[in-house]
Chains A and B, each alone.
Chain A
Amino acid sequence: MNIIAAGIFDAFTKNNVHYLLGGLGITVGVSIISVIGSLIFGSFIGIIIYEKIPFLSRYVSIINDVIRNLPLLLIIFFVYFVLPVIGIYLPVFWATVIAMTVFESTMLAEIIRGGLLAIPIGQTEGAGSVGMTNQQALLNIILPQAIKKMIPPIISQLISLVKDTSLAVGIVLAEMTFRGQIIYAQNSNYTIPVFIALAIMYFILNYGLSLIARWFDHRMAA
Chain B
Amino acid sequence: MVENNQDNMIQFVDVEKYYGHFHALKNINLTIKRGETVVLIGPSGSGKSTLIRAINGLEPIQEGHLIVNGYDLHDPKTDINKIRKRVGMVFQHFNLYNNKSVIENVMLAPRIVSHIPEEENEKYALELLDRVGLKDKAGSMPSMLSGGQKQRVAIARSLAMKPSALLFDEPTSALDPEMIGDVLRIIQNIAKDSDMTSLIVTHEMNFAQNVANRVIFMADGEVLEDSKTSDFFKKPKSVRAQQFVDQVQNH
Interface residues of A (CB under 8 A from B): 122-123, 125-133, 136, 140-141, 144-145
Whether B112 contacts A129 by the Cβ 8 Å rule is: no
Contacts of A129 in B (CB 8 A): 56, 58, 84, 88-89, 91, 95, 158
Whether B58 contacts A130 by the Cβ 8 Å rule is: no
Most chain A C-beta atoms within 10 Å of own C-beta, residue among B84, B94, B114: B84
A-B pairs with lowest CB-CB distance, top 3: A126-B95, A131-B85, A130-B109
Whether B243 is near chain A, meaning CB under 8 Å from some CB there, is: no
Whether B84 contacts A123 by the Cβ 8 Å rule is: no
Cβ proximity bits B84-111 to A, threshold 8 Å, 1 near / 0 not: 1100110101111111100000001100
Taken together as a complex, chains A and B put the C-alpha atoms of A127 and B158 apart, in Å, by 10
Taken together as a complex, chains A and B put the C-alpha atoms of A125 and B92 apart, in Å, by 12
Whether A136 contacts B56 by the Cβ 8 Å rule is: no
Interface positions, chain B 33-82, Cβ under 8 Å from A, are 56-58, 81-82
Taken together as a complex, chains A and B put the C-alpha atoms of A128 and B158 apart, in Å, by 11
CB of A122 to closest CB in B, whole Å: 4
Given A122-B95, A129-B95, A130-B157, 9 extra CB contacts under 8 A: A125-B89, A125-B91, A128-B56, A129-B56, A129-B84, A129-B158, A130-B109, A130-B160, A132-B108
The answer, among B82, B84, B98, B100, for a CB contact under 8 Å with A130, is B84
Contacts of A123 in B (CB 8 A): 95, 97-98
Whether A128 contacts B58 by the Cβ 8 Å rule is: yes
Whether B97 contacts A126 by the Cβ 8 Å rule is: yes
Whether A128 contacts B84 by the Cβ 8 Å rule is: yes
Taken together as a complex, chains A and B put the C-alpha atoms of A127 and B81 apart, in Å, by 11
B89 nearest in chain A by CB position: A129
Contacts A141-B99, A144-B99; A131 near B109 (Cβ below 8 A) = yes
Cβ proximity bits B112-152 to A, threshold 8 Å, 1 near / 0 not: 11100000000000000000000000000000000000000
Taken together as a complex, chains A and B put the C-alpha atoms of A140 and B100 apart, in Å, by 9
Taken together as a complex, chains A and B put the C-alpha atoms of A129 and B114 apart, in Å, by 14
Taken together as a complex, chains A and B put the C-alpha atoms of A148 and B173 apart, in Å, by 30
Taken together as a complex, chains A and B put the C-alpha atoms of A131 and B82 apart, in Å, by 7
Whether B161 is near chain A, meaning CB under 8 Å from some CB there, is: yes
Whether A127 contacts B97 by the Cβ 8 Å rule is: yes
Taken together as a complex, chains A and B put the C-alpha atoms of A140 and B110 apart, in Å, by 13
Contacts A136-B113, A140-B108, A140-B112; A130 near B97 (Cβ below 8 A) = no
A sample of 28 cross-chain residue pairs with beta-carbon separation below 8 angstroms, ordered by A number, consists of A122-B94, A122-B95, A123-B97, A125-B58, A125-B91, A125-B95, A126-B91, A126-B95, A126-B96, A126-B157, A127-B97, A128-B58, A129-B56, A129-B58, A129-B91, A129-B158, A130-B85, A130-B113, A130-B158, A131-B81, A131-B85, A131-B114, A132-B108, A140-B97, A140-B112, A141-B97, A141-B99, A141-B100
A129 nearest in chain B by CB position: B89
Contacts of A140 in B (CB 8 A): 97, 108, 112
Contacts of A136 in B (CB 8 A): 112-113
CB of A57 to closest CB in B, whole Å: 18
Contacts of A126 in B (CB 8 A): 91, 94-97, 154, 157
Whether B161 contacts A131 by the Cβ 8 Å rule is: yes
The answer, among A125, A130, A132, for a CB contact under 8 Å with B88, is A130
Contacts of A122 in B (CB 8 A): 91, 93-95
CB of A140 to closest CB in B, whole Å: 6
CB of A25 to closest CB in B, whole Å: 40
CB of B218 to closest CB in A, whole Å: 21
The answer, among A131, A141, A144, A145, for a CB contact under 8 Å with B84, is A131
